[in-house]
Chain A
Amino acid sequence: MTNVAQEIAVESQHAAEAQAASAPGAGKKRNVVFSLAVAWLVLVVVLVLLGWIFGESLPFLRDPDGINQDALNAGPSWKYPFGNASFGEDVFSQVVEGGRISLFVGFAVTAIGIGLGGGMGLIAGYYRGWVDSLVRLIINVTLSIPALLLVIFIVTIRNQELTTVIFALSLLAIPALARIVRASTLQVADREFVKAAEVLGVKRSKILLREVLPNVMPTLVSFAFLTTGIIIVVEGTLSFLGLSVEPPTLTWGKVIAEGRIKFADTPHMVAMPGLVIFLTVLSLNFVGDQLLKRFDIREASL
């Protein structure tokens, strides 16, 4: 089974979006939203990193497990911007601490996916032959099990540790990125400058690294953003279902899972982390999408 049809679908969508985006008057507004998205991403990453390094010595952070008798299940206030949990724990600090696992998993899995999946896609798309068939088979086999099912399956048969979660999510990211990079490599390998280099007798490995890779890079970078967003969502779902890393470690999904138990009392425990996940994923998607459009325009004007 090949998914050529889907690749065509993706391509045609990008082409149409590029056409739509090149209409006048669209550029300026997009820049504002784009910088907002980047600003939000930077803010989230910096906050989580600061919380990781300095811990509770920061003025706005408290012990995420600290019990506070005066503010049981309290809603958002100036002192506790995200409200309090059922023992008065500060939800904001919980979210900042939970971001460590959620963001780390997102970035680590994307890095692994780019390294392995991108490499697989490049080699398969450029060298073709049996390598290509093998990679295509691997992609089709892995992608024919629904993502969440596969991840839950691996996490339950192994153990609920960080390495297992990263391993399981990598199994999603690698074939997905490999397929996209392969499709992109096929396009680039058809271009004239690659043919010219081949005629000139440049070594194939050199062509792959010097000619093909730099031209595949834009697509790879944009899809890296989109993949990070997807992985953060899948990890959130996993910890929402109670299947991610073991209990004392906090993640975004786990805060939501705790809030939904006494939903009528603590709706803010679902709303606030949910909003954070939503904005982060939205920003990642937006940045990836915009990068894709920009690169496409440049390609089209060549």
Chain B
Amino acid sequence: MLFILLLIAFAAIVAWIVYSAGPIFALKRFGGALLVLVLVTFGVSAMLSFTTGDESTKQALEELGVSRNAQPCVTALGTGASVENVNECVEDRGLDKNVFAQYADWAKQLVIDRDLGLAFYKNGETLSDTMKQRLPRTAWLFLYSQLTALFLAVPLGIWSAYQAGRGGRGLPKWALPAGVGILLLIGFFSGFRLTSLFAIVIAFAAVYSIFAGGRLADNNTNFLAFALLSIPVFVLGETLRYAFAIERDIYQLTGYQPWSEGIGEHLKSIWLPTLVLGLAATPVYLRLLRADMIQNLQQDFVSVAKAKGMSNSHILLRHVLRPSTVTLITVLGLNIAQLVNGAIVVEFIYDLDGMGSYLIAAFARREFFAVQTIVALVAALFILTNTLIDVLYTAVDPRVKADDER
């Protein structure tokens, strides 16, 4: 049902694009996307032909009476596998065939038979079952983290851009280091934990910036975003895990709870991973929105609106925010790749059994057939989203199309 709805929505968007930007343009873009998708999946398939190990392994396998290329099967089946099992697996996966035949087999199975194959060869679990179980976790994680990031980035970006051109309250500059120093001293002597001290410093800097306003506030926000951008996701994730799940008992590492267990339980089981992924995505959006807002605030229409006596908040939210969000939406699409990277790490850190941790397990067991399928699905999602956004962008802003012909 959902699939049909999505299909209808997709068809509607395509129809609108064909209507507004012309069929040749739409064909070119979607054709290009299809070509990229085929090349990506074929590249993955071709790289898999390197997996059969070096010459000595091949010879050892031949002496055992199995195919020379059986190495992925041996790893997937484990040490207890019999020769027949391995041979069956080699036959099943077409490991003896050449690259093109392997790719054709894989594509046929996926597209025509609608069969995703096995998730784990050893116990015969199908990938569609695995996805049914694990995909919701990753999907919710993605959704919540994006909402968190936007919830943090959009107001902060608007506020920061607004403050960039203002005078500020002229608070003394030494107040920040002095305040931080006093707070640190108090905290240190009353035996606060290191993570609490850190949180206090950040909170004080935030309050100071909000109160000070002006360029100083903009600079501080910008620097905070810059620092957040430079923290690797795994360092951020481990730090927050230490602060909330090990040092204190605020987040329980009890595993994912679905919606059916109640909203409270669901959110309680996922909020910290969400926060980590969201914080990792926030600075990207924040910096982009701020830069765009600053540029748009210097346009003539802002002066006109100001001269007409409109309020600042009206100008910011109605006149400047809308043209500034176009780039943000583009980057939202591009950020899918970043999200997948983050999900792999975050699910590993928090033992969340989603697609990311499945991927790690599948890699460890050399389940390349399933990995190939997932890589293809992720690439398809990425390419489709970005083509749609790209084309929509073009339909909204014709300058891009002219630019593309350069």
Q: Does B47 contact A (CB under 8 A)?
A: yes
Q: Does A42 contact B (CB under 8 A)?
A: no
Q: Does A271 contact B (CB under 8 A)?
A: yes
| A281 CB contacts on chain B under 8 angstroms | 230-232
With A144-B36, A237-B345 as given contacts, are A229 and B292 in contact (CB-CB < 8 Å)?
A: no
| B345 CB contacts on chain A under 8 angstroms | 148, 237, 240-241
Among A137, A240, A256, A264, which residue has its beta carbon within 8 angstroms of that of B39?
A137
| B33 CB contacts on chain A under 8 angstroms | 1
Q: Does A253 contact B (CB under 8 A)?
A: yes
- Of the 9-residue stretches A15-23, A51-59, A78-86, A198-206, which lies at the interface with chain B? A15-23
Q: Does A147 contact B (CB under 8 A)?
A: yes
Q: Does A282 contact B (CB under 8 A)?
A: yes
Among B50, B287, B344, B390, which residue has its beta carbon within 8 angstroms of that of A1?
B390
- Give, as a whole number of angstroms, the nearest-CB distance from A99 to chain B: 15
- Give, as a whole number of angstroms, the nearest-CB distance from A267 to chain B: 6
Q: Are B330 and A9 in contact (CB under 8 A)?
A: yes
Q: Does A141 contact B (CB under 8 A)?
A: yes
Q: How far is the CA of A230 from the CA of B344 in the complex (A)?
A: 17
Q: Are B292 and A145 in contact (CB under 8 A)?
A: no
- Give, as a whole number of angstroms, the nearest-CB distance from B379 to chain A: 5
Q: Does B241 contact A (CB under 8 A)?
A: yes
| A8 CB contacts on chain B under 8 angstroms | 327, 400, 403
Q: Are A157 and B234 in contact (CB under 8 A)?
A: no
Q: Are B291 and A16 in contact (CB under 8 A)?
A: yes
Q: Does A2 contact B (CB under 8 A)?
A: yes
Q: Does A186 contact B (CB under 8 A)?
A: yes
CB within 8 Å of B: which of A1-40?
1-6, 8-9, 12-13, 15-17, 19-20, 23, 25-26
| A156 CB contacts on chain B under 8 angstroms | 363-364, 366
- Give, as a whole number of angstroms, the nearest-CB distance from B393 to chain A: 5
Closest to A30 in B: B219
Q: Are B234 and A263 in contact (CB under 8 A)?
A: no
Q: Are A19 and B294 in contact (CB under 8 A)?
A: yes
Q: Are A4 and B47 in contact (CB under 8 A)?
A: no
Q: Does A177 contact B (CB under 8 A)?
A: no
- Give, as a whole number of angstroms, the nearest-CB distance from A255 to chain B: 12
Q: Are B230 and A157 in contact (CB under 8 A)?
A: no
Q: Does B337 contact A (CB under 8 A)?
A: yes
Q: Are B337 and A146 in contact (CB under 8 A)?
A: yes
Q: Does B175 contact A (CB under 8 A)?
A: no
Q: Does A178 contact B (CB under 8 A)?
A: no
| A19 CB contacts on chain B under 8 angstroms | 294-295, 298
Q: How far is the CA of A152 from the CA of B242 in the complex (A)?
A: 26
Q: How far is the CA of A158 from the CA of B334 in the complex (A)?
A: 28
| B242 CB contacts on chain A under 8 angstroms | 263, 267, 270
Q: Does A121 contact B (CB under 8 A)?
A: no
Q: Are B238 and A260 in contact (CB under 8 A)?
A: yes
With A152-B359, A153-B375 as given contacts, are A16 and B246 in contact (CB-CB < 8 Å)?
A: no
Q: Are B234 and A256 in contact (CB under 8 A)?
A: yes
Q: Are A16 and B35 in contact (CB under 8 A)?
A: no
- Give, as a whole number of angstroms, the nearest-CB distance from A224 to chain B: 16
| A271 CB contacts on chain B under 8 angstroms | 239
Among B232, B298, B383, B400, which residue has its beta carbon within 8 angstroms of that of A144?
B383
Q: Are A3 and B294 in contact (CB under 8 A)?
A: no
Q: Does A218 contact B (CB under 8 A)?
A: no
Q: Does A278 contact B (CB under 8 A)?
A: yes
Q: How far is the CA of A148 from the CA of B363 in the complex (A)?
A: 13
Closest to A29 in B: B219
Among A1, A25, A240, A285, which residue has its beta carbon within 8 angstroms of that of B32?
A1
Q: Are A148 and B341 in contact (CB under 8 A)?
A: yes
Q: Are B39 and A9 in contact (CB under 8 A)?
A: no
With A149-B378, A278-B235 as given contacts, are A141 and B393 in contact (CB-CB < 8 Å)?
A: no
Q: Are A6 and B331 in contact (CB under 8 A)?
A: yes
- Mask, A221-246, CB within 8 Å of B = 1, is 00000000100010011001101000
Q: Does B169 contact A (CB under 8 A)?
A: no
With A12-B291, A16-B295 as given contacts, are A3 and B386 in contact (CB-CB < 8 Å)?
A: yes
| A119 CB contacts on chain B under 8 angstroms | none
- Give, as a whole number of angstroms, the nearest-CB distance from B138 to chain A: 13
| A285 CB contacts on chain B under 8 angstroms | 226, 229-230
- Mask, B30-44, CB within 8 Å of A = 1, is 001101110110011
- Mask, B322-356, CB within 8 Å of A = 1, is 00000100110010111011001100110000000
- Give, as a whole number of angstroms, the nearest-CB distance from A197 to chain B: 20
| B364 CB contacts on chain A under 8 angstroms | 156
Q: Does B382 contact A (CB under 8 A)?
A: yes
Q: How far is the CA of A5 from the CA of B404 in the complex (A)?
A: 9
Q: Are A6 and B330 in contact (CB under 8 A)?
A: yes
With A145-B378, A240-B345, A241-B360 as given contacts, are A5 and B390 in contact (CB-CB < 8 Å)?
A: yes
Q: Are A12 and B295 in contact (CB under 8 A)?
A: yes
Among B48, B226, B231, B336, which residue has its beta carbon within 8 angstroms of that of A286?
B226
- Give, as a whole number of angstroms, the nearest-CB distance from B27 to chain A: 13
Q: Are B404 and A2 in contact (CB under 8 A)?
A: yes
Q: Are A278 and B232 in contact (CB under 8 A)?
A: yes
Q: Are A278 and B231 in contact (CB under 8 A)?
A: yes
Q: How far is the CA of A281 from the CA of B226 in the complex (A)?
A: 11
- Mask, A264-302, CB within 8 Å of B = 1, is 100100110010011001100110010000000000000
Q: Are A17 and B291 in contact (CB under 8 A)?
A: yes
Q: Does A131 contact B (CB under 8 A)?
A: no
Q: Are B29 and A1 in contact (CB under 8 A)?
A: yes
Instruction: Enumerate chain A interface residues (CB-CB to B < 8 A).
Output: 1-6, 8-9, 12-13, 15-17, 19-20, 23, 25-26, 137, 140-141, 143-149, 152-154, 156-158, 186, 229, 233, 236-237, 240-241, 243, 253, 256, 260, 263-264, 267, 270-271, 274, 277-278, 281-282, 285-286, 289
Sampled A-B contacts (13; CB under 8 Å): A2-B404, A16-B292, A140-B32, A144-B36, A145-B337, A146-B337, A146-B378, A156-B364, A236-B234, A237-B345, A241-B360, A278-B227, A282-B230
The list of the 10 closest CB pairs from A to B, nearest first, reads A274-B235, A16-B291, A146-B340, A282-B230, A148-B341, A16-B295, A146-B337, A9-B327, A13-B291, A157-B51
Given contacts A1-B386, A145-B337, A267-B242, 7 further A-B contacts (CB under 8 A): A1-B32, A2-B32, A141-B39, A157-B51, A237-B232, A278-B230, A278-B231
